[in-house]
Structure 1
């Protein structure tokens, strides 16, 4: 169940970034509400996942996977460029996440 909680937290963290970008410095009310609401939901599910994960490992996985997700979503839907350097960075982040998981950070 902890992996499900972490996955939901990642999805809502990606939503936070998208909404925050669209909120334009919190000048767009509906996007601002979306940013705050999705942030609260992401934090709730992260806290549920951290009941099982070591905090350092769980938080690192959450932020890393969400960061990769944001780069991919923005490339697919918002026309941001995904060059070889970003792709190499994504591979490095995924390698780090796998290494953390292999370190035994979750039950």
Structure 2
């Protein structure tokens, strides 16, 4: 259940960040409100996750997975460039999350 909560926290953070981009600098009401709701949900879910995981591991997975996924969303759906350096960075973040999960998250 802990990893389900963490996955939901990651998804909420990704949704909030995507809505933040769509809010056009908080000048559009609904995406701006969605950003606030999603980030609130992300932090509540992350806080619940911290009851069962070490803070360093949970935060690294939350921020790392969120960073990699939001970068992928930017490239795939928001028209952002995909340079070799960006792709390598995403791969390294994913590798770091995998290492944390296999070596230190239990």
Q: Same fold (TM over 0.5)?
A: yes
Within 2, Cα distance between the matches of 1:74 and 1:91? Answer: 15
Q: Per-residue deviation at 1:71? A: 0.7
Q: Which runs of 5+ in 1 are unaligned?
A: none
Q: Which runs of 5+ in 2 are unaligned?
A: none
Cα deviations across residues 47-92 of structure 1 (Å, max 9, x unaligned)? 1211111011101110010011101111111111112111110111
Match of 2:57 in 1: 57
Identify which range, 15-24 or 3-12, moves more after superposition.
Answer: 15-24
Within 1, Cα distance between the matches of 2:70 and 2:98? Answer: 19
Secondary structure, aligned partner of 2:52: coil
Q: Per-residue deviation at 1:102? A: 3.1
Residue 8 of structure 2 is aligned to residue 8 of structure 1: yes
TM-score for the superposition, normalised by structure 1: 0.90
Within 2, Cα distance between the matches of 1:12 and 1:82? Answer: 24
Q: Per-residue deviation at 1:41? A: 0.8
Identify which range, 18-27 or 69-78, moves more after superposition.
Answer: 18-27
Match of 1:98 in 2: 98
- Residues 28-39 of structure 1 correspond to what in structure 2 (within 5 A)? 28-39=28-39
